[in-house]
Structure 1
Amino acid sequence: MMRALALVCSATLLLGLTACTGELPKLVPLPDGVSLLSDQTRLHRKDREIFVRIHNKSDKALRIEAFTLMSDRIPDVKWTGSEDIPPGTEADLEYDMPKAGCGTGFTPTVRLTYRVGDGERQESDAQADDRYGNISHAMDRDCAETTLEEAAHVEVGDPTIVGKGGDSVLHLPVTMTPTGNRDDVRFGGFGSTVLFNQAEGSPADVDIPLVKDPVRLVMQVTPARCDGHALADDKVGRLFDVKVLGDDVGDNASFYLPLTTPQRVTFFDFYRSHCGLD
């Protein structure tokens, strides 16, 4: 047994890896002037791409080779690659956010593997705070969506247009059928977007238990403004919040109402016809 262990250790040493001492490489402090933060761009609100931004305000170049991001709200994320960051610049290292659990905030620890200039590879732990709260909001959406899925089946019907021209209103039927698995979850209402406002009569601010009978709702919207450029450049105008209330759901937690491509097209067609942009 001792001889076998020695052979394993010898092979490990030949590969240039850690010797069989049972000790991991020691972590070193992050170089002065280097800092991290986490964020998500507005263009990626519909998907799960987020990033760690590394600011290099030191006087030496950095080469990032890997990182492991650790948080109590998502499984560990591992990134590998090669990213050079000259002095006085920054770089964004993107990754897809795993499904997040319920919780509060997002304060991950990032174990960074890097080189300073032509130096040896080294590792440091640093926090990559969600400075602007964008990722925390995305995680709260995961929490809200999972919570509502546990409490009810959501079915979105076909949108219809009621009225004509500037007096028209788009109606979208939504049915929530309780599963019986939870008795603490309530529907809190639909949110407006940069393109559409919730119209009078729409369930925008409610507190409806999802316990027994199906809840049949009609979301009603009108354009928030008539602007052809806003419509042409839109990225998030059809992301309607579904507010969820529950014991383990954060304040103002919501997720985006799932819409099919034909449903989304109908919203755009309605905008054009209501505003006379055809």
Structure 2
Amino acid sequence: MPWRDAPPRVTAILVCAIVLTGCAATPSPPEPAPTPAPTPALTVELHQLRSDVAPRQAQVRISNASDTAVTVGDVHVEDPRFDGTAQRVIAGRASTIPAGGSADIRVQLPEVECSVPDDGEAEAVIEIVSDSGRTEATASAPDPLGFVAALHARECLLERVTDAAALAFTGFTPSPSGEPAALELTVTPTGKAEATLVGVERTNLLDFDGLSADQDLYRLDLHVTADDADPVVVQLPLTPTRCDPHAVQEDKRGTIFPLRIEVDGEPGEVELFVGEEMRGKILTWVGAWCGFGG
């Protein structure tokens, strides 16, 4: 039946079918899932203060370039050079960053991941807290001083050293003023590899008795092979580098010793901390040795 001769009822049914068919052929696209976006007013950098080194922590410096205060809650850093996520040290805390201001938020660094190179990049995930709720923003977290790359290199080298021997400061014997104390370094072979402990460098707080000013290394030249099994205990003769009281009061790195080593003929440097308990004993001894201890 030609379109123009169709009875009114049939025409109405055809028009309805055409409209419905058109609606079915062009469905509305689904709504995209919301994706958290970086907050342009916030910029992030990673820093490590001297006081952060011993506890293996760092600072996430968040700067607020907006004209209003911003409150941040959880902060964590993701970086392929670490085996895990760097988490805010004090969980559950919120920090308000004023307009034009900045805040340093301390995070605990996980162990390094040595299967990746030193030149990775970090991202910070920041929880923004407002009256309307909590949202997450992700921002690049550059490291202007390159401490992460240096930390990764040192600790991965130390991991290679510990394939040959475990290194630890295991004892401290204080001394009267004018005489050297004894710091005990124990080298325990693992029987798996070999390495050479070339020597130990002085720190900004502690020197080695008999080491002249033009010498920067207390030499050990201790070679460990895969055939070695017995621990070797080395007594390091310590004297204070300086005796001004604020050197002890403000100490941050005075009990972290750089160790020069060689692994597979490759020279390098690692750092070894005496630990918090022994650090306290050494600082007390320095005060007594220098005559200003309580």
The answer to whether TM tops 0.5 is: yes
8 Å contact from structure 1 (residues 51, 92) kept in 2? yes
Distance 1:237 1:153 in 2: 22
Unaligned regions of 5+ residues in structure 1, if any? 1-20
How far off its partner does 1:195 sit? 1.4
Alignment match, 2:253: 236
Aligned to 2:199: 189
Q: Secondary structure at the match of 1:181?
A: coil
Q: Percent identity?
A: 24
Q: Which amino acid aligns with 2:243?
A: C
Counterpart of 1:10 in structure 2 is none
The whole-number CA distance in structure 2 between the counterparts of 1:209 and 1:277 is 40
CA apart distance, 1:140 = 4.8
Alignment of 1:129-148 (within 5 A): 129-140=142-153, 142-148=155-161
Correspondence 1:87 to 2:99: yes
Runs of at least 5 residues in structure 2 that lack an aligned partner in the other structure: 1-29
Instruction: Give the Cα–Cα distance (whole angstroms) in 1 for the partners of residues 240 and 60 of structure 2.
Output: 36
Report the alpha carbon displacement of residue 196 of structure 1 after superposing the two structures with TM.
Answer: 0.9
Give yes or no for contact 2:201–2:217 (8 Å, CA) kept in 1: no
Mark the CA change 1:269 to 1:114 in structure 2 (over 3 Å): closer, same or farther: closer
2:67 aligned with 1:59: yes
> Is the 2:87–2:108 Cα contact (8 Å) retained in structure 1?
no
CA shift at 1:233, angstroms? 3.8
* CA contact 2:177–2:288 (8 Å) conserved in 1: no
1:191-210 equivalences under 5 Å are: 191-200=201-210, 204-205=218-219, 208-210=222-224
Q: The residue matched to 1:253 in structure 2 has which SS?
A: strand
**Paired position in structure 1 for 2:285:** 269
- Quote the offset at 1:64 in angstroms: 2.7
Alignment partner of 1:49 is 2:49: no
The separation in 2 between residues aligned to 1:83 and 1:232, in whole angstroms, is 28
Q: Deviations over 1:111-142 (max 9, x none)?
A: 33436x87886554322122234444554554
Structure 2 vs 1, CA of residues 234 and 82 (structure 1 numbering), >3 Å: closer, same or farther? closer
What is the distance in 2 between the residues matched to 1:49 and 1:127?
19
Counterpart Cα distance in 2 of 1:155 and 1:120: 48
Bigger Rg, structure 1 or 2: 2
Residue 126 in 1 paired to residue 109 in 2?
Answer: no
Paired residue secondary structure (2:284): helix
Offset at 1:225? 1.5
How many Å apart are 1:187 and its aligned residue?
1.9
After superposition, the CA RMSD in angstroms is 3.8
Determine if the alignment matches structure 1 residue 38 to structure 2 residue 46: yes
Classify 1:127/1:239 alpha carbon distance in 2 versus 1 (closer, same or farther; 3 Å). same
- Partner of 1:252, secondary structure, is strand
Of 161, 169, 180, the residue aligned with 1:169 is: 180
Shift in CA distance, 196/22, structure 1 to aligned 2, threshold 3 Å: farther
CA change 1:78–1:47 in 2 (3 A) is: closer
Q: Deviations over 1:198-234 (max 9, x none)?
A: 3336963565432143544332222212223323443
Give the alignment's TM-score, normalised by structure 1. Answer: 0.69
Matching residue within 71, 75, 81 for 2:79: 71
